[in-house]
Structure 1
Amino acid sequence: MGADTTVSATAAPAEDGAVPTNTVAPTTPTPPRRSFRSFIWDTDTHLKTPEERRLLRKLDFAILSVGCLGFFMKYLDQGNLANAYVSGMQEDLKMYGNQYTYAGSVYTVAYAVMQIPSTLIIQRVPPRLWLTFMEVGWGVWTFAQAGMHTTGELYAFRFLVGLFESSFFPAMLYLLGTWYTKTETAKRVALFHMTAPLGTAFGGYMQAAVYNNLNGVHGLAGWRWLYIVCGCMTVPVGIATYFLLPDTPFRTKAWYLTEAERALALERVNREGKAAPSSINLAMFKRVLSSWKWYLFVLGYVLYGESCGGNGYFGIWLKAEGYSVDDRNLIPTGTSLISGACVVLWGFLSDYTGSRFTFVLVPLILTLIPNGILAFWSSNKHLLEFAFLTVNIQLMTAVFYTWANEVCADDNEQRAVVISSMNGFQYAVAAWLPILIFPQTTAPTFRRGFPTTFGLVIAAIFAVLAIQFMVVRDRRRAAARRASTDSEAGGLSREQVIVSVKDEKSVE
């Protein structure tokens, strides 16, 4: 595609049958020259036609704009509980004991409940309609938190925010995995996911600015103004989703795509071997649950996700150390910015090398250092600060989800259920695990919490190794079946079958 080829020419034979002397030797087609963009973006950019590159530019603008802005707002709204808590909400709502932990768990329960239903709903309801409704809904309930006066109201509003936020992440992961190819997906999921730590970081900066400039304005505390400002930002992004999100290649009617571009998008999906949506019934669930993919990807992701649980307690430690309100909001943003950079780094390296397994495993190994420091609680204050800042360098969520997207590509419903189950079960465990291991009464050292997250990192490493073992096993079995079929159809010898299987193994 897009390659320059040189056509070899041979002079016509002489009438007397003599061998012509002006025969032009055939030449090898000249491979297309790699562009600079092929090194910093998609490695196969130089192989794409101008039409395909134009299609990708439109998809990137639409999907990544909606995805990144929406996910930024999701984490801004999710993280503002911590910012509000250390900025006066604790005292105003008389939140003592473990109420803060309970508020987080109520949100998490609601968020977990809708994960799998959300990805199944968008198989029937256009994603742009469903996500617009859900995002505007969570914006409204974010507004509502500005008026709460009791912890009971806090629990109710956090539950509703979690319920309406629940669809966005799994639906966007499903759509990203549907539209993009293997050389394109991980970096785009990484850019999408990078907005999560950026949203958390921005929440700290915004709360500091709100506290300094709006605290007491119209009789409202600064933490209440935070919820008002967040709501004002969220609702317009939800409305934009309706106009920009292109649904799926199988049924898109996006106004900015031509008929030719829609056909090209569908051809790309077919070329990647991605299955079209089919019926949702009991047989579908039996098919999904009879595969190792659901069990191991969910287990591996839950272990990995819970191992990231130590990042939410930096501000509480800073408060215990006597830092100011501004410092409690601003210093933890360093953790978010570092983890955001790592999300992009792991995603780009994964797409560039073509390896998902490597860039799921390596970040987990690296994070043993900061998690170990917190687990054994160093007496060195600067070392603890370093550990809090780098505790989430293992944030390779984009690569993990891309891996699952690709392994399940040949079964659309399995892909949807596996992806949503990974996130849903991780949040389901996160609904109760922090209550056990991070009770507020053990702050700021959390002697049960940090040793547990350290152990979870180690368990996640073993789960990832198990996933890779099964992926390699399936590839070898598939290669053997193909070689056997070719042997029966084309009369290949046993030795040729063995060579075919070895060739398949070498690609792994």
Structure 2
Amino acid sequence: MSAPLTEEKVAHDKSPDSGSNTPSFSDESIDNPTGISEKALLRKLDYKLLPGLTLLYLLSFLDRSNIGNARLEGLTDDLHITGNQYLFTLTVYFIGYVLFEIPCNIVLKRTTPKLWLPTLMLAWGVVATLMGLCHNLGGFIAARFFLGVTESGLFPGVVFYLSMWYKRTETHYRVALFFSAASLAGAFGGILAFGIGKMKGVAGLAGWRWIFILEGILTVIVALTAYLFIHNYPSTAPFLTEPERTLIHARLAHDTDATNDEKFAWSNVRAALADYKCWMYGFGFHTMSLPLYTLSLFLPTIIKELGYKAAEAQLLTVPPYAVATILTLLVAVASEKTKKRAPFILASTSLAIIGYIILLTAPRSKPGVSYVGTIFAAAGIYPSTAIVLSWPAANVSGQSKRATATAMTITIGNLGAVLGTQLYRPKTSPRWYLGHGFALGYLVFNLINTAALWGLLERENRGKRVRIEQGERSEGGIVSDEDVRFLFQT
């Protein structure tokens, strides 16, 4: 546990009128004996941690979504896969993903990030490569299932990992930077598929096979180097000096439980399962994952059915993802500066709703209007999803409970993706009323869930402030640790 805080200090740091819920080293009440600039330290952490983690997620999202690009290059024709069978290959990925997310985060807590994350990547890189060597539907379904299993631990693992390095108010921006790799993967995927598709016939292989093989081999190569650039936690990271390590531990001790030497306990897993807020975080991602994954998996097909050729459709997937990447970063910066989450989710989700309304109502004779709808949809979905995914990492206390809550969010969320993969059926082409309609409905439910969670968190914060002001004391004789350090981010 962190050092005891006096009531006067709590009142100073956690005043309801304060612009931030977390103290910084600019506060006179917190000593920074190291003489190190906090901003300089954050820049160093960002430089050492974020590029490598973002690269891992970029390749993860590329390897799971390139099936949409491969379809345009003849995947379904060569393997004699019908439209509904193709949808099942998308679904089975998320079955593996959902089943193994929480177990993977438990393994991460019981091992180390330096060992576990690169090993996961190496495994999914091998599976991704083997997808290019499949010769029948059964083999391809098996490969997709194990791709989901091996990729399941990366995102929840990294979100938990970042919470062990940064203060709660700093995690969203870093998670958003990390998640922006998803939209970058969409943009790169279209460009790569356009180029790799021209390798049709090389070594007697179809273009779609080369998409899986080359992108999978790239993942394997990066995984082998990741053992060198993925670090464990601040207490052992070799790139830190002892004064820097001291500063990191001191700033986290006043804001999170990241410095606690917490042993894994099943009671903390049960605590996450019993917390209604953890379920609402999960439902928040559930309502975003359906539109997120249906767009990423079906965008090449949606654009092609507007009347464009396959090669044109591959390239036209780039602008929606480029706009989404830019807005994800801009919204992350704004959310970080204002210390708000819910208002930005509501605004971004509303933008995506406009996009689907355009897709559902645009005249068939005007494909350009429908294409604009895809840009609006992507521009709203990705910023909202980035905030939703970082919310539990900022608000759930207890390391094992937070690791479980993060995995719960992804697990519950990806159940929406499981449903979404069955919605874009061939017989609904080219208007896709079923898929677009479900995506629109889910986004509306996201607005409702976000507004409700916002109100509930504000109500709990008001109760905590009252207890702090009244000097409520725990058994140790101080204001309770939960109240001091965990006013919820709203």
Q: TM-score, normalised to structure 1's length?
A: 0.82
Q: Aligned residues: percent identity?
A: 26
Pick the aligned partner of 2:314 from 315, 322, 329. 329
Q: Which runs of 4+ in 1 moved over 4 A?
A: 43-49
Structure 1: distance between partners of 2:92 and 2:272: 29
Structure 2 gap ranges (5+): 1-22, 475-482
- Tell whether the 8 Å contact from 1:138 to 1:161 is kept in structure 2 after alignment: yes
Amino acid at match of 1:335: P
Structure 2: distance between partners of 1:225 and 1:309: 23
Q: Indicate yes or no: 2:375 matched with 1:389.
A: yes
Aligned counterpart, 1:71 = 57
- Tell whether the 8 Å contact from 2:284 to 2:446 is kept in structure 1 after alignment: yes
- Tell whether the 8 Å contact from 1:316 to 1:443 is kept in structure 2 after alignment: no
Aligned counterpart, 1:131 = 117
Q: Tell me by how many angstroms 1:174 deviates.
A: 1.0
Q: Tell me by how many angstroms 1:369 deviates.
A: 0.8
Pick the aligned partner of 1:264 from 247, 250, 267. 247
Amino acid at match of 1:315: P
Structure 1: distance between partners of 2:405 and 2:257: 15
Between Structure 1 and Structure 2, how many residues are aligned?
446
Structure 2: distance between partners of 1:446 and 1:349: 34
Matches within 5 A, 1:105-504: 105-212=91-198, 214-249=199-234, 252-275=235-258, 276=260, 278-311=262-295, 312-376=297-361, 378-379=363-364, 380-394=366-380, 395=382, 396-408=384-396, 410-435=397-422, 437-485=423-471
Q: Tell me by how many angstroms 1:444 deviates.
A: 2.4
- Tell whether the 8 Å contact from 1:116 to 1:424 is kept in structure 2 after alignment: yes
Deviation track 1:455-475 (CA, whole Å, cap 9, x = no partner) reads: 111111010011111111111
Structure 2: distance between partners of 1:182 and 1:427: 24
Amino acid at match of 2:355: P
- Tell whether the 8 Å contact from 1:139 to 1:231 is kept in structure 2 after alignment: yes
Structure 1: distance between partners of 2:370 and 2:24: 43
- Tell whether the 8 Å contact from 1:332 to 1:389 is kept in structure 2 after alignment: no
Q: Tell me by how many angstroms 1:370 deviates.
A: 0.8
Deviation track 1:294-325 (CA, whole Å, cap 9, x = no partner) reads: 12111122112223354233322333344222
CA-atom RMSD in angstroms = 2.6
Structure 1: distance between partners of 2:293 and 2:158: 23
Q: Tell me by how many angstroms 1:486 deviates.
A: 6.2
Q: Tell me by how many angstroms 1:59 deviates.
A: 1.9
- Tell whether the 8 Å contact from 2:88 to 2:421 is kept in structure 1 after alignment: no
Computing the radius of gyration from Cα coordinates, the structure with the larger value is: 1
Structure 1: distance between partners of 2:264 and 2:326: 38
Amino acid at match of 2:450: V
Q: Indicate yes or no: 2:82 matched with 1:96.
A: yes
Structure 1 gap ranges (5+): 1-42, 489-500
Higher RCO (CA-CA < 8 Å; seq separation 6+)? 2
- Tell whether the 8 Å contact from 2:286 to 2:415 is kept in structure 1 after alignment: no
- Tell whether the 8 Å contact from 1:375 to 1:454 is kept in structure 2 after alignment: no
Distance 1:268 1:242, change over 3 A: farther
Distance 1:445 1:94, change over 3 A: same
Distance 1:277 1:96, change over 3 A: farther
Q: Tell me by how many angstroms 1:278 deviates.
A: 2.9
Amino acid at match of 2:245: R
SS of 1:343's partner is: helix
Amino acid at match of 1:424: T
SS of 2:109's partner is: coil
Structure 1: distance between partners of 2:175 and 2:348: 17
Amino acid at match of 1:454: L
Structure 1: distance between partners of 2:67 and 2:154: 19
- Tell whether the 8 Å contact from 1:405 to 1:419 is kept in structure 2 after alignment: yes
Q: Tell me by how many angstroms 1:183 deviates.
A: 4.5
Structure 2: distance between partners of 1:201 and 1:421: 29
